[in-house]
Structure 1
Amino acid sequence: MIETGTSLGIKELHTYWARECAPGSAAPLPQDVAKTLLAGLRLNVLETLRYLHHQRPSYAQFEAWVRECHGDELTEAALVRLRRALAGETVGAEVGNLDDVEGLDADELAHWHEHGYVILRDAISVEAAEAAEMAIYDFLGMSRDDPDSWYRQSLGHSIWVPLMRHPALVANRRSPRIHKAHAQLWGREDLWVTIDQGGFNPPERADWPFPGPHLHWDATLAEPHCLDLQGIVYLADVAEDQGAFSCVPGFHRKLKQWLKSVPEGANVHSHAGRTLTMKPIAARRGDMIIWHHLLPHGSSPNRAQRPRVVQYMSLRPTRFAYTEEWKS
């Protein structure tokens, strides 16, 4: 029997829970609604699914877990904005009026349209970036100035850092400049920021080869090809050879034709890895790289002297076009 109490007052959350914990009792939420729901509740997708599948909570327990995850961040004002948006009402930017916030200029917007990525300079302050950088070092039990500490087995052989709710990372998600740039690219301000993790890519050495991710897409390659954005904030300066984010510029405009050239029976990702060349994107502490999700992209081997330390972040509107079929 499905409980129907809704102390958070969001019926879509009950539907989401029922779909995962009471199979057959509810139809799935549309992808865009599910993403807005989780972002609005400050939930990470994998973290939430792991909790639901492993704990099999009642709905009341699930709501309690949602509140427990956030402390004071999930305010009534945030819940009201989410309820209104899910009900189809128009809501403004989470961070307030963006009219006087400096965003991307004409040249940067032209670069975006041509190349499918743009560097948002000074997306966050140098101080904010360094605070988040140090939070990642602390979380990993590493010292920024002790290279030997960078290879502790805190994470295993991975560049992902499962730190999501440190106050420094939370603050960066509320950067007005980040929200303004994404509003320009989406053409709307009702944006919801994902609760993503950090990244730590130390210099390669004999016992720590680069683990990837190599060239890939995080998007379906099925048509129609829709707009979605992905982003990474550099928390320290990153040179081209320092494990920089890499992509194939302009490929969002070539993907449809390129797919027709892939040999029949070939694995698309393997073929792309053999035939496409990624460009590493250098940027400064506090800069953010925003890219079209149809660009093949990945990290790169760090052959410099310092780690690449980053925070991942994406912003999407309440409702957006997407392709239901998954094709890789």
Structure 2
Amino acid sequence: MPIPAPITLNELHAFVADGVLIRRGMIPDGLLQPAAHLVDAWMREHYDPARLTAYTNQTFAPDLASHPDLLGLFHDSGLHELVTQLLHPAPTAPVTTAQVQIRLPDGAEQPVKAMHVDGVSCPHLHPEDLNTFTLIAGVVLSGSATGDAGALHYLPGGHQRMARYFAEEWTRGQAAQTPHDIARQDGTALTARPGDVIVKHHLVPHRVGINTSPVPRVMAYFRIRHADHARLAEAALTDPWLEYPGLAALAAEAHPGS
């Protein structure tokens, strides 16, 4: 199993400030290619165009969620160890499923999501329901490395604004997922190549744009939860570092009085 390079102090400061950690070329071809081929075969043999909206809102290839080739991207690449470094010393719940997200080339009439935070006021959930997590790890499986090719767009530092929003403006059950000043922003595009990894704080708002390239953009995502997330979930919406005890002091230094 590959051992990831230890997270540097600069990376920790950047994660506290931006809510994002990116590692280029982290996934070796021996793990990347089987997963990419698995999803490609599913698209050719099992994809149902009538379910495009459901796939986009939840996951493509739902029957592959627990496939070893997908889970190996997280458990056998060193990505699990990288995430553990960020959350240390907090324990994490087991990661047993993957989410596959595909942005099809322009013309597929695929829904375009607005800037949002996962699991809160989602249109496919009951308004009162929360389906949140602590952080998410995404692996690029295939696609063009340009910002207009179905890339993930995220708002660096947006976790601080979202925490204030959830504390001061949001009420459970409302339809709005983000405040107006967040919703209207385009965000920063993840211009990444296959094998690149992004680890993102749950509260960082994000969206996915259209894909103007001729090839699909395929990502595999893994949701990581603090072992006690079920109890902490609602409080964690207003306290970005509640589930990151090792980073709480660093965050307090960066944002005194917040």
Identity across matched positions, percent = 24
Does the CA-based 8 Å contact 1:197-1:311 persist in structure 2? yes
Residues in 2 aligned to 1:324 and 1:258: alpha-carbon distance in whole angstroms: 13
Among candidates 97, 101, 126, match of residue 199 of structure 1: 101
TM superposition shift of 1:303: 1.3
TM superposition shift of 1:190: 4.0
Give the TM-score of the pair, scaled to structure 2.
0.69
- Deviation digits for residues 238-295 of structure 1, max 9, x if unmatched? 3211111111110112234456886999945373564333221111211221111111
Give the TM-score of the pair, scaled to structure 1.
0.56
The aligned runs of 1:221-260 (5 Å cut-off) are 228-237=134-143, 238-257=145-164
Does the CA-based 8 Å contact 2:156-2:188 persist in structure 1? yes
Structure 2: which 5+ runs fail to align?
Answer: 122-131, 238-258
Does the CA-based 8 Å contact 1:219-1:294 persist in structure 2? no
Does the CA-based 8 Å contact 2:28-2:77 persist in structure 1? no
Does the CA-based 8 Å contact 1:220-1:323 persist in structure 2? no
Among candidates 96, 99, 108, match of residue 11 of structure 2: 108
- Deviation digits for residues 12-42 of structure 1, max 9, x if unmatched? xxxxxxxxxxxxxxxxxxxxxxxxxxxxxxx
Among candidates 198, 208, 213, match of residue 289 of structure 1: 198
- Deviation digits for residues 82-127 of structure 1, max 9, x if unmatched? xxxxxxxxxxxxx8xx9x6424333322221111111123332123
Does the CA-based 8 Å contact 1:111-1:117 persist in structure 2? yes
Query: Equivalent residue of 1:140, what SS?
Result: helix
Residues in 1 aligned to 2:91 and 2:183: alpha-carbon distance in whole angstroms: 39
Greater Cα shift, 188-197 or 238-247:
188-197
Q: CA RMSD in A?
A: 3.6
Residues in 1 aligned to 2:211 and 2:179: alpha-carbon distance in whole angstroms: 22
Does the CA-based 8 Å contact 2:71-2:96 persist in structure 1? no
- The yes-or-no answer on 1:138 pairing with 2:32 is no
Does the CA-based 8 Å contact 1:126-1:285 persist in structure 2? no
Q: Which position in structure 1 is the counterpart of 2:88?
A: 187
Name the amino acid aligned to 1:281. Answer: L
- The yes-or-no answer on 1:122 pairing with 2:15 is no
Q: Which has the larger radius of gyration?
A: 1
Query: Equivalent residue of 2:30, what SS?
Result: helix
- The yes-or-no answer on 1:165 pairing with 2:66 is yes
Number of equivalent positions: 218
Residues in 2 aligned to 1:125 and 1:106: alpha-carbon distance in whole angstroms: 25
Residues 248, 219 of structure 1: alpha-carbon distance in 2 compared, 3 angstrom cutoff = same
